[in-house]
Chains A and B, each alone.
Chain A
Amino acid sequence: MLALDLFVNGLIFGLFYALMAVGLAMIFGVLKVVNFAHGEFYMIGAYTYVLCAMKLGLSPWLALPMAAIAGAALGALVERLLMRPLYAGYGSWNIMKDEYAVVVTFGLSLLLINLVDKVVGPYPYRGPPLIETSRFALGPVMMNGQKLIAAGISVALLVGLALFIKRSLWGRQIQAVAQNRLGASLAGIDATRTTALIFAISGLLAALSGALLAPLINPSPDVGAFPAIKSYVIVVLGGMGSIWGAMMAAVLLGVLESFFAVYVSYDYRDAFGLLILILVLIFRPQGLIGEKGREV
């Protein structure tokens, strides 16, 4: 059945999108800036995975955590070096804050793409899959082992993140800083450390998303542009800054796109998401998911 096949595939891609987009949403939630280098976190994750597995000969199951570490380190580094002026004391910067964030993250995106292009080479690499299987039928749906495992890991990560944010001390600190940075500081929360944590988590998730998809997409230096644009759409659709909104919007977009590509137009499937973005920003800036969009 084509429709069911499309639905399941869209759902799975929605999960990968969600891994990317929640990080972006968390960053927007605390700093009210869009990280235009988010796709490059994904790219770095994919490359770390592929290079660790192929050049260092690590098992793919070890290469995966390496990608996570690389993404988290990159996220923390970006926060420390580039984002901290946005909130730590530089009072006079307020007036051009948004512009600074766009310029710096845009520049960072170009820098990382070209650095990888120069150091590793412009050719696409294909990563080894986590398990070797051929395509098999899962009920009525054709499935491939890597996709299924990657989807499973994504679900585990998303549930883990949700629990972490809701239940753990650090997660509650993240919620507090997103709601009110000053108030959180007054209550004794180290807002600076929390922001660094958010960037690290965001980098980690994006990098893992890249690593999980590496066997399916053949990473090349500019591979991040595509998922980054998806995440912008999702973050807008889910209400800028809302983690739960982003998760739901990601799955929604994955399914919608997979149907659009088959039933309407394959060539314009990317333009479709962007059109949604523009329409939502103009007519419903709080996002589709609802008024609770401001929560985290």
Chain B
Amino acid sequence: MSDARNLWANRLRTDFRAALVVVALLATVPLFVSSPYTLGILIVSIYFALIALGWNLLAGFTGQFSLAPAAFAMLGAYTTALLDYHLKAPLAIGIPAAIVGTALLGFLLGRIVLRLKGPYLALTTLSFAEIARVIVYNSHNFTRGDQGLNVPSLMQSRIGYYYLFLGVLLMALAGLYRLMRGKAGRFWLAIRDDETGAESRGIPVVRYKTFAFALSCAICGLAGSLYGTFSQLVSPELGLLLQTGLVIAMVVIGGMGTLTGPVVGALLVYLTSEWLREFGGIQLIVFSLAVIVFARFFRAGLWGIATRR
């Protein structure tokens, strides 16, 4: 048994180190690139990497296939924006409020969908996401609907923003690594592989499932909130199902149930899509095709291909 345990711990350590290498490489990018446009693209791809990590915690590690990550990014962004718009709350309150708010909502959603599995869970979270978007879109008096809301910026410097996003990504990776290495991670994987079995061995399934939901949604909410301050505009489009589709594509291409996979997948998909944009909007065709091919033939994603023995 201790062998299996060490095997998993080793795999996780390799995985985490690879993710650290990716972050380190990203940290050197501003030495070579100074164009604000390129940095902006990198910032958005790190935003997607954060959501991908959050979604992967639910889908890849805990086996709860939610279709609401983009909705939670939208809700996080709107929490910050609405606090500023209605109450003139500073960002020092607005951003933590986004984390807490989405964590609470995620906790609630986790409680609600506790008994649902597979397609039932996917449909319920999809409905939740769409309802949230429809409400934000239609509450013209409260959210200004599809006009969106303006958000104050945290700082002027692009490079500052870049390192802020990178720092948050690093913290998310380190935090997830710590959790995955410890009891929580083992419990999540056990729930993913066999929920009934996990319950029968005394794992508090309810508690750990809702914990995964709350944490995952909080990561998405934080990403959305930061993205709102970066782009200085939040709109209901953040919560489109298409965005969730992109996040799923990133994680599936990078490798589900790993730490490096979602990050690399997000960078790869978003940067390539910016590049493909020059060839006339074929990026979504390429990625949806890629996600089908990966899901069908390379189920472990790029990370699985890279580490295959």
Contacts and interface: CB of A to CB of B under 8 A. Distances in A.
Are A and B part of the same complex? yes
Interface of A: 28, 32-34, 36, 82, 85, 95-104, 106-111, 113-115, 117-118, 225, 229, 232-233, 236, 240, 267-268, 270-271, 274-275, 277-278, 281-282, 285
Contacts of A229: 130
B295 A100 contact: yes
B114 to A, nearest CB: 9
Interface string B58-73: 0100010101000000
B112 interface: yes
A61 to B, nearest CB: 33
Contact of B284 (A103, A110, A225, A282): A110
Nearest to B135: A271
A107 B130 contact: no
B288 interface: yes
A277 B193 contact: no
Given A103-B252, A106-B248, A107-B295, A278 B128 contact: yes
A176 to B, nearest CB: 22
Interface in B2-53: none
Chain B contact patch, size range: 35 or more
Nearest to A81: B296
B158 interface: no
Nearest to A282: B112
B118 interface: yes
A28 B120 CA distance: 11
A110 B299 contact: no
A101 B127 contact: no
Contact of B131 (A103, A114, A271): A271
Looking at chain A's contact residues, the main secondary structure is: helix
B206 interface: no
A100 B65 CA distance: 10
B1 interface: no
B138 interface: yes
Interface of B: 59, 63, 65, 67, 112-113, 115-120, 122-124, 126-128, 130-131, 134-135, 138, 193, 241-242, 245, 248-249, 252, 256, 280-282, 284-285, 287-289, 291-292, 295-296, 299
Given A98-B119, A107-B245, A107-B291, A274 B296 contact: no
B127 A103 contact: no
A96 B193 CA distance: 9
Nearest to A95: B193
Given A96-B299, A274-B131, A108 B292 contact: yes
Contacts of B59: 99
Q: Max chain B CB contacts within 10 Å: which of A95, A107, A232, A270?
A: A107
Contact of B245 (A96, A106, A267, A277): A106
A99 B117 CA distance: 10
B48 to A, nearest CB: 15
A102 B122 contact: yes
